[in-house]
Amino acid sequence: MAAIAKKSVAVLLQIGVHLGGLLPLLWLFYAINAGHLGGDPVVELIHYLGMGTIRLLLLTLVVSPLAKALHFGQLNRLRRPLGLWCFVWASLHFSTWLALDLGLDWSLIGEELVRRTYILLGFTCWLILFALAITSIPALLRKMGKNWKKLHGLLYVAVLLACWHFWWSVKSGWIEPAIYLGIAISLLCWRKESVMRWIKSLRSW
């Protein structure tokens, strides 16, 4: 494939990522009104946004090994928009819980964060995504140099935390969270070398 064709494919994919991040949110807006989320849309909304976050996280992890396998470096352009959409979805998931489930009752929120490990796991995951999103500002990226890569390796931790958070949050039935955790671990194995390199790089931090 010619370089130009590859580039336009990458641009199209990038547009696709943005549409993929945005359109389901617009659908949600419609779905709530149409009653598709049932009599208590709050919980459904939280689950929908949480599952979306996990799927986006997994998708983000697919990009660079795939780019390498296909010799299609342009694909790496998708990482940033995917990562940022992860953060948007995670933030919507988190704020729906804060505002609509717990009604911004801060003492209750604090208590829940401390006492319920699965919530703490999810919160930690959100903090990581927050740090990664903030440092995606190009000026900061340049300024951070090597440390940027070290920080962004935390995505590996975030994806595991997200799956673990899902596992502990379900009332019954472990099959679905197990599938997601399995996919996450396989994706990390697929890029074993990058993961190992990242772990090694932390020693010099």
Cα-Cα-Cα-Cα dihedral sign, residues 74, 21, 117, 103: positive
d(CA 187, CA 28): 29
For residues 162-184, one letter each, b for 16 or more C-beta atoms within 10 angstroms of the residue's C-beta and e for the rest, the string is bbbbbbebeeeeeeebeebbebb
Instruction: Give me the least distance between CB of 189 and another protein, in Å please.
Output: 25
d(CA 62, CA 184): 10
Helices (H) and strands (E) counted in the chain, each on its own, are: 10, 0
Contacting range for another protein; rule: CB under 8 A; set: 37-45, 52-60, 67-75, 140-148: 37-45
Residue pair 103/152 in contact (Cβ under 8 Å)? The answer is: no
151 binds another protein (CB under 8 A): no
Beta carbon nearer to another protein, 21 or 41: 41
> Where do we find the tokens 């990009």?
63
Binder of another protein out of 9, 13, 25, 43 (CB under 8 A): 43
Binder of another protein out of 138, 175, 189, 203 (CB under 8 A): 175
111 binds another protein (CB under 8 A): yes
33 binds another protein (CB under 8 A): yes
Contacting range for another protein; rule: CB under 8 A; set: 83-91, 112-120, 123-131, 182-190: 112-120
Contacting range for another protein; rule: CB under 8 A; set: 71-79, 141-149, 169-177, 184-192: 169-177
Which of 152, 123, 121, 113 has its CA nearest to residue 135?
152
169 binds another protein (CB under 8 A): yes
Interface mask (CB under 8 A) for another protein, residues 89-108, using x and -? -----------xxxx-x--x
d(CA 113, CA 105): 12
Per rule CB under 8 A, count of chain residues that contact another protein: 33
